[in-house]
Every structure is written in C-alpha cells, then in structure tokens.
Structure 1
Amino acid sequence: MTVIDPSALMGPLWTLLAFVALGWLAARRLTVDPRPIATLLIYLIAPLTFFRALVQGGPTPADLLLTASLFIAASLIALAVHRLARHRLGSEESALLAFSSGTGNTGYFGLPVALVLLPPTGVTLYLFCLLGVTLYEFTVGFYLSARGRFSVRQSLTRIARLPLVYAFLAALLSETAGLEVPAAVMEGLTVFPATYTLLGMMLIGMTLGRVTIHHLDWRFIGIGVVIRYGLWPLLALAAVIGLQAMIKLSPELALALLLIGVVPMAANVVVVAMELGIAPEKGALAVLLTTLAAPLLLPFYLGLLMDLAGLP
C-alpha cells in the first residue's frame, strides 16, 4: 500500500490546533464574543481571500469546469442529506447536518496538506476544487442552513447579501475583460488568507469555550463522521476511477480530488452556524473531533485510495 508520511501532516495540524486553543482562551479568559468574528469572516475576509486567489490563478475554462463540478457534487450531497434528515432530526439540527455534509476543511486543513503532497500545478488544481466547495458553502449550503430557522424568502435574502458570490463574479469579469488589479492592491490582499485561517480556527475554540456537557450529541457527531469519512472518500474514489476510464486524468488532479474526499469536517460549519444561530456548539465539537482524527485517518485513507485508483 502507498505510504503517506504522517510526520508531513503534523506541522499543519499543530498549527491549526494552536489557533483553536487561542480561540478557547480568548472566549474563556477574555470573554470575547465570537459572533462579530463570524460576521467579519463571511462578509469581508472570505470574499477578499477568494477574490485574490482567483485573480492570481488566472482561471481557464477547464479550471472553471472543475470548480463547477465540485460545486454541483457538494450541492447534490447536501440536498440528499437534508431530504433524509429533516424527517428524523429537528429543523436546525438537520439544516446544520445538511450543510456540513456537502463540505469539508478543504482550506484551513486541506490546503497546507496539498502544499506538502502536490507540485505547484497540482496545488492550482486543488485550489479550483476548493473554490467549488466554498461556493457551495455560501450559496446552497448557506440556504439550507438558513432554512433551519428562516422562511424561503428570508433565506434567499440572506444569500443575496453574501459578498463572496459577487467577489467571484468580479474576479471572473476582471479576467475576461483583461483588467489588471493594481500591484499595490494585490500586495495589500496578501494578509487575508492567513487571517482567514487564523480567525476561522479560533472561532472553533471560542465556540468550544462556551460548550457544556449537554451540547455533546453523539448522534449528530456520528452521522457527520460517517458522511465525512465514509461517504466522501468513496465518492472521491469513484470520481477518479470514472474519469480515468473516460479521459487521461493527470496524477496531480487525481490526488487533488482524493484529498478533497479525506479532509475533516469544515470549520465553516461553525462560522455559518454562528452567523445564523443554529447549534454552533454541536458543529464545533464535530469539527474538532474529526480534525483530531485526521492525522491518523488521512495518511491511511489517502494511501489506500491511491492504491485503489492505481496512482503511483
């Protein structure tokens, strides 16, 4: 079996857990309110982060097709889970589970791992996969989450106010029109990716700082883990094998797709839950547990999936 060195993943893991610990300390010792930080991430930091990434990446039609494919796949998974869960769980719980089922920690955790495992061309392909998942989070995923508390009209109104979609369109427009973003602006935007990661992981810690024993919902956590570490790896493997049978799939793209399938639950589960007020404590516990398990599961899963897909 292909062996992925676990030590290569320890650096990103410990950095992320240190950010979570800082967030916990901020909530417990400094009584920092995490809600304004969630709002800041959604309405300012995330849009500018992905605008910069798109402008730098110079997307081609093939890149955008990759983004669209991941967006559609994530949306279909979330819609299917929502349809199944809404009859068995409460409205807020099923909404949060549906959101989390369509996404994963492709950015905060997956990107540092991609930088270790993939060459520069593979990292670029991974970024466009990541963008598709992120677009799902702030469109279909956000709508499903909002429906846990709000009407259809209120939910759509909230999506219309989200600037990430407009940042995506602005980046595409500037690339299509041949407009060049001034170098000073791009230099100023360099601080946002690190800020996005730092505040996103600290928000988990801040939420955990308010958790009590009655927030521990093993049913919710169990279903989330099965979807994230059971369903997604199988779907990623099926996608790679299917594409290999139809086209000449590069090893870099195959590994990028497999990595999307084995990352832990998304930290943005907590960000969106905090913004909408739908059980952020449950989301924080599930995200933390899957992140702690990732260094053990990810090397095994990735090595096994690479073997099954016939990757070197």
Structure 2
Amino acid sequence: MELASTLMTPLWTLLAFVGLGWLAARRLAIDPRPIATLLIYLIAPLTFFRGLVLGGPTPAYLLLTLAAFLVASLLCLLVSRLVRHGFADQEAALLAFSAGTGNTGYFGLPIAMVLLPPQGVTLYLFCVLGITLYEFTLGFYISARGRFSVRESLLKIFRLPLIYAFAAALLVSGLGLGIPAPVMQGLEAFPATYTLLGMMIIGMTLGRVSLREVDGRFIGACVAVRFALWPLLALALVLGLQAMLPLPPEMALALLLLGVVPMAANVVVVAMELGIAPAKGALAVLITTLAAPLVIPLYLNWMMGVTGLG
C-alpha cells in the first residue's frame, strides 16, 4: 500500500500529460509529426548526452548498457520471428519494435527518481541508455523494414543523432574534457521536456484516432509482451543474478522497474516518423499507460517480495 501511494503522484502526472496532448490535438489541431521529429533528432540526443556525461561512464556502467541493449535486441528479433506470418508487415514491425523496449525514459525515469537512491538512478539510467540505443539502431531498422528497403532503413539509422551523441559523451568522459557550466545548465531543461513531449505525443496521436482503427489482436499481443513477458524476464534475471553474486538492492529494484513500465511512448514517436500504423501503436500504448497506476504497484510489491527486497 505504501508503494502504491508513493507512485500515485508521478503516475497520474504523466497520464495528465497524455490528456494535455489529446486536448492539444482535438482543440488546437496540433500536428504531432513535427514533435516526433524534434524528439528523435534533438531532444532525446541532448537528454542522453547530458545524462551520460553526468553519470560518469565506467566499464561497469557500460556493461549494463551493453547487457540491456542485447536483451532488448534479442526480444525484438524473437518476437519479429514469431509474428511475421500472423500480422501485416507494418504491424509486425511495430510489434517487434515494441517488444524490445518500454517507457523506461518518459515514464520510468520519474518513478525511478522516487523509488531509488542517486546511485540506483544512475544504474537505472545506464540500463535505459542500452534500451534507447536499441530503439534507435536495431529497433528503428526493424520498424523501417516494415515499409522501406534494407538500404533505405540503414540510411535512416545513420542519420539518427542519438548514436553520435552517445559516442560524443563517451569521448568527452574518456578524455576528461570539461563541459562549460553554462552549457550544462542549459541542458537541464531537456530531461523534463523529453518526458512532457514524449507523453503528450501519445495523446496527440489518440486525438486523431477513430474507433475503426481499434485492433484487438494487435493490442492484445502488445499488452501480453509488455505486462507478461517483460515482468517474468525481469524477475528471472534478478533471481538468477542473486543466485550467482551479491546483487545490490538498488540494482535489483532498477532491473525490476525496467520490467513493469508500460509500452514505450517511442513506439508512437518512431511509428509517426516512419509512417507505420501510429494510431494502432498509440492505442496499445494508451491502454498499458492507463493500466500502469494499478499494474506497477501490484507487480513491484509481488516481485520485491519474491526477491527479498520487500
């Protein structure tokens, strides 16, 4: 009960951002596509550049990033193989993309900052970085292949600045280069903007959705992957690591949180940018996001009890 009350404020705040996006689309006729482009090509790269520089990447932290990237990529490839014959190309691509990720940034980061100590937030961020790298490399490629050729899909990946922001942050940290204080202060605005626009774009997309675009089979598959497969995977991972080595409680809780967040808002962002069924993606994201205030406390209480963290 205590965990649920702690999470209610950030959870409902994020859902309020979705509502604001819906109002913006319905009453102001705002087009969400330029906002999706802004998130992909400017706000996300600068947000993660700042987080990586402040986090001070070490080999141990980067190993977490690599592990998260590999897990996300394997899940994407597995689901892609399983659904390719059961869904249309664009839907299969979007479902495979969503399988490798979750709303770990826009949604999960504010919750991590409530539940975890500063060290735990840093561990969580480096895991999120791996999932985000998946989104804008293999995940983006798989999504693009739902509509574009191999060459066109690869070219789209090479134009994504988040990859270069990641490399630049590693270079800055590795060489011990200092970022001027005014620059870092200016970058402080980007994490909040990243969360606000990332959640609002869900509502903006939904503001243009009609009932005939509801696809129960697609939504059911997305929900099953996000709220069945991912929690079980996160729980199994934590239990396996606890059996093999001393696992810090903040690391265990960070991993569990990765497994219980709703579907990624970037499913909508990427679908909007590539033109692959954004309405269906937005409906699936909305359903898991609306369920989050109930599901996240229930899952975390149960998983923390099983892993001895409760």
TM bucket by the smaller chain?
over 0.9
User: Corresponding residue for 1:10?
Assistant: 8
User: Corresponding residue for 1:209?
Assistant: 207
> Take 2:166 and 2:269, find their aligned partners in 1: how far apart are those partners?
20
Aligned residues: 310
Amino acid at match of 2:108: G
Matches within 5 A, 1:103-182: 103-182=101-180
Deviation per residue, 1:191-225 (Å, 9 max, x gap): 11111111111111110010001111111111111
Task: Identify which of 293, 296, 302 aligns with 1:295.
Answer: 293
Deviates more, 1:9-18 or 1:118-127: 9-18
User: Corresponding residue for 1:57?
Assistant: 55
Confirm whether residue 186 of structure 1 aligns to residue 184 of structure 2: yes
> Take 1:47 and 1:309, find their aligned partners in 2: how far apart are those partners?
35
Task: Give the fraction of aligned pairs with identical amino acids, expressed as a percent.
Answer: 73
Confirm whether residue 311 of structure 1 aligns to residue 309 of structure 2: yes
User: Corresponding residue for 1:283?
Assistant: 281
Q: Is the 8 A contact 1:208 1:285 kept in 2?
A: yes
> Take 1:73 and 1:212, find their aligned partners in 2: how far apart are those partners?
35
Deviates more, 1:20-29 or 1:171-180: 20-29
SS in 1 for 2:3: coil
Deviation per residue, 1:130-180 (Å, 9 max, x gap): 111111111111001000000111000000000001000000001111111
User: Corresponding residue for 1:219?
Assistant: 217
Q: Is the 8 A contact 1:4 1:300 kept in 2?
A: no
> Take 1:279 and 1:7, find their aligned partners in 2: how far apart are those partners?
36
- Give me the TM-score of the superposition, normalised by structure 1: 0.97
Instruction: Extract unaligned runs of 5+ from structure 2.
Output: none
> Take 2:231 and 2:19, find their aligned partners in 1: how far apart are those partners?
29
> Take 2:2 and 2:305, find their aligned partners in 1: how far apart are those partners?
12
> Take 1:171 and 1:290, find their aligned partners in 2: how far apart are those partners?
33
Deviates more, 1:132-141 or 1:15-24: 15-24
Evaluate the alpha carbon distance shift between residue 227 and residue 4 of structure 1 in structure 2; reply closer, same or farther with a 3 A threshold: farther
Amino acid at match of 2:173: E
Q: Is the 8 A contact 2:144 2:274 kept in 1?
A: yes
> Take 2:107 and 2:30, find their aligned partners in 1: how far apart are those partners?
24
Evaluate the alpha carbon distance shift between residue 180 and residue 199 of structure 1 in structure 2; reply closer, same or farther with a 3 A threshold: same
Deviation per residue, 1:221-252 (Å, 9 max, x gap): 11111110100011111111111122211111
User: Corresponding residue for 2:28?
Assistant: 30
User: Corresponding residue for 1:256?
Assistant: 254
> Take 2:238 and 2:97, find their aligned partners in 1: how far apart are those partners?
24
> Take 1:18 and 1:256, find their aligned partners in 2: how far apart are those partners?
25
Confirm whether residue 80 of structure 1 aligns to residue 78 of structure 2: yes
Confirm whether residue 71 of structure 1 aligns to residue 65 of structure 2: no
Deviates more, 1:71-80 or 1:192-201: 192-201
> Take 2:147 and 2:156, find their aligned partners in 1: how far apart are those partners?
12
Deviation per residue, 1:13-32 (Å, 9 max, x gap): 22112211111111111111
Amino acid at match of 1:302: L
> Take 2:209 and 2:130, find their aligned partners in 1: how far apart are those partners?
31
Evaluate the alpha carbon distance shift between residue 238 and residue 4 of structure 1 in structure 2; reply closer, same or farther with a 3 A threshold: farther
> Take 1:204 and 1:272, find their aligned partners in 2: how far apart are those partners?
12
> Take 2:164 and 2:174, find their aligned partners in 1: how far apart are those partners?
15
> Take 2:40 and 2:2, find their aligned partners in 1: how far apart are those partners?
34
Instruction: Extract unaligned runs of 5+ from structure 1.
Output: none
Evaluate the alpha carbon distance shift between residue 4 and residue 86 of structure 1 in structure 2; reply closer, same or farther with a 3 A threshold: farther
Amino acid at match of 2:15: L
> Take 2:226 and 2:2, find their aligned partners in 1: how far apart are those partners?
20
Evaluate the alpha carbon distance shift between residue 210 and residue 309 of structure 1 in structure 2; reply closer, same or farther with a 3 A threshold: same
